[in-house]
A = this chain, B = another copy of it.
Amino acid sequence: MAEWPLPPSSTIGILGGGQLGRMLAAAASRLGLKVHIFCPEANAPAFDVAARATIASYSDLSAISEFAEAVDVVTFEFENIPAAALQHIENIRRVLPSARSLAVSQDRLSEKKLFDHLSLPVAPFAEVASIETLELAVANIGRPAILKTRRLGYDGKGQVKIDDATDLAHAFAAIGSATAVLDTFVPFTSEISILTVRSADGEIRAYDPVENAHENQMLAESRVPARIPVSIAESTPEIARKIVTELDHVGMLAVEMFYCMDDTENPLLINEIAPRVHNSGHWTLDACLVSQFENHIRAVAGWPLGSVRRHCDCVMVNLTGEDANRWPQLAADDSIALHLYGKEEPRQRRKMGHFTRLSRKT
């Protein structure tokens, strides 16, 4: 059993080697901790800043065993970890956040049921398992609605909008006839996220709520402070607290919500959670004393949490695909902090970097 909390020079194992793993690794280095990245792709961005790396498939259980034995705790940068790999690791090393956080966030239906159970406001939804249940669900919820697979959806993948003209058989086929959830289409004013962190001791802190703008179903821009009434902003930490407490979650967790200005009863509707560091929290690297990445590392290493205080207002902008070719101009802009992920190929919709524009705190 590893010493707990993990002392400096311990090794955090991270499943996934993308930009989130890369920024987690850089944050771990601030605290004198090492990381060991497990990732199926060679040349993954996180390898550049990792003390050790394993390139292997998540189904290679002998590589998984060796990895788990070489580290002091295991965490992850994405929630869709294959269940077999996870169970295998849990027999060898502590995995944080909790198995419950992962199980719930891997399944949209479990998520929605959790929000209901916690009496958190969610828009009407229905379970869909067949074309017949889809027809019934649309009859109940009305159009427009959004059909989303229960599992493995992200950045707009695995979802389809159901308009007045949409043929339901086509829609169900479009998501691969997978088990799904039908969501009410919410005519929101803006999308809000709360980034919260819970320590192994149960301490909870939340960063200021973030206002997000999406383009092509991917996060394009995050703005802090969010343009929402103060009373609503002040209600967000309690929402996050209920969720992380119920899940016995340890580490960062993002709650995504819709803000509906004209809905006086439920101005915030909970949409989904991500049990990890989140793209809408990248601004914390430059506008806070301790970033979401460092706070995640602190939590999974059993350390006390760091300050979530914000010293600047800011707007974070994602650089996808060829956006990143603008790096020489962006590097010359004095009012931004530029972050590039070291990915060589600027494929379309690929997240290549981001920048944060800072301004005096209002």
User: A residues engaging B (CB < 8 A)?
Assistant: 5, 7-9, 22, 25-26, 29-34, 47-51, 286, 289-290, 298, 303-304, 306-307, 309, 311-312, 324, 327-328, 331-332, 334-335, 337-344, 353, 358
Q: A8-B324, A22-B29 are in contact. Are A289 and B337 (CB under 8 A)?
A: yes
Give the distance to chain B from A107, nearest Cβ to Cβ, in Å: 34
How far is B324's CA from A9's CA once the two chains are assembled, in angstroms? Answer: 12
Contact of A344 among B9, B33, B338 (CB under 8 A): B9
Question: What are the residues of chain B within 8 A of A340 when measuring CB–CB?
Answer: 8, 30-32
In the assembled complex, the Cα of A332 lies from the Cα of B324 at a distance in Å of: 38
Nearest CB of chain B from residue A342's CB, rounded to whole Å: 4
A32–B319 alpha-carbon span in the complex (Å): 13
Q: Whole-angstrom distance from the CB of A325 to the nearest CB of chain B?
A: 10
Which of B7, B32, B47, B338 is A31 in contact with, Cβ under 8 Å? B338
How far is A26 from B29 in the complex, measured between Cα atoms in Å? Answer: 8
Within 8 Å by CB of A311, from B9, B26, B306, B311, lies: B311
CB neighbours of A29 from chain B (8 A): 22, 25-26, 48-49, 342
Question: Do B342 and A9 touch (CB < 8 A)?
Answer: yes
With a cutoff of 8 Å between Cβ atoms, the chain B residues found around residue A311 in the complex are: 311-312, 358
In the complex, what distance in Å separates the CA atom of A338 from the CA atom of B30? 7
- With CB as the reference atom, state the residue of chain B lying closest to A31: B340
The 8 Å CB contact of A327, one of B8, B332, B342, is B8
